[in-house]
Amino acid sequence: MCGILGIISKKDIITPMIEGLKKLAYRGYDSSGIATINNNQINCVKSQGNLDQLQKKLINEELIGNVGIGHTRWATHGVPNESNAHPHFTDEVAVVHNGIIENYALLKNQIVETGITFKSETDTEAIAHLITLYLKSGMSSYEAIRATTEDIKGSYALAIIMRSEPNKLFAVRKGSPLAVGSSENENYIGSDG
């Protein structure tokens, strides 16, 4: 049970991201987070607790960018803490997810065999690692996302940002709802369930 949001804009997206996440947090949630790309790196701030806790952290941490993804979470995999909060990210990719990946334990075991250590107990972290592994094998962004969606079983709405493509926001769904919106200067995606 969670809500995801993605925004790509010509201006900084942190304030609209917080406002959008507030609209998705109508049922109450146990953690939240936002990731952006700035200066050729993925930056992420996550917090346990409601969105007020995330806003307090953002006062002390500089998080800027014109492309970003955010998440409000009600724990389904892993306890409600900062490590399990979304977005989940690697050096190359950040992902937020609405849904449940049914075969994540199998995927996690396969990923761990490559030498990767997981930082969370969530099914979503496997998605970030899979996309990264495919990128490192030489696939394009689209190919890596497509290969990952062929590997995962279950329902999902995903919002993805990539360090190598800092002016793009990727979104894909299967089973979970995903809304797409646009205006003259911004594009949005959102999902809750």
pLDDT band for position 27 (cuts 50, 70, 90): low
Tens digits of per-residue pLDDT, 61-107?
889 999 999 998 766 656 666 778 889 999 999 999 999 999 999 99
Q: What local confidence, expressed as pLDDT, does residue 2 receive?
A: 83
Tens digits of per-residue pLDDT, 124-140?
999 999 999 999 999 99
Q: Which residues contact 146 (CB under 8 A, 6 or more apart)?
A: none
Outline where DSSP puts E strands in the chain.
2-9, 31-38, 41-48, 67-73, 88-89, 93-101, 154-162, 165-174, 179-182, 186-192
Q: In terms of pTM, does the model score above 0.85?
A: yes
Question: Which among 57, 49, 13, 20 has a CA at the least distance from the CA of 169?
Answer: 13
Higher pLDDT, 51 or 128: 128
Q: Is the model's pLDDT at 47 over the cut of 60?
A: yes
Q: What local confidence, expressed as pLDDT, does residue 5 receive?
A: 95
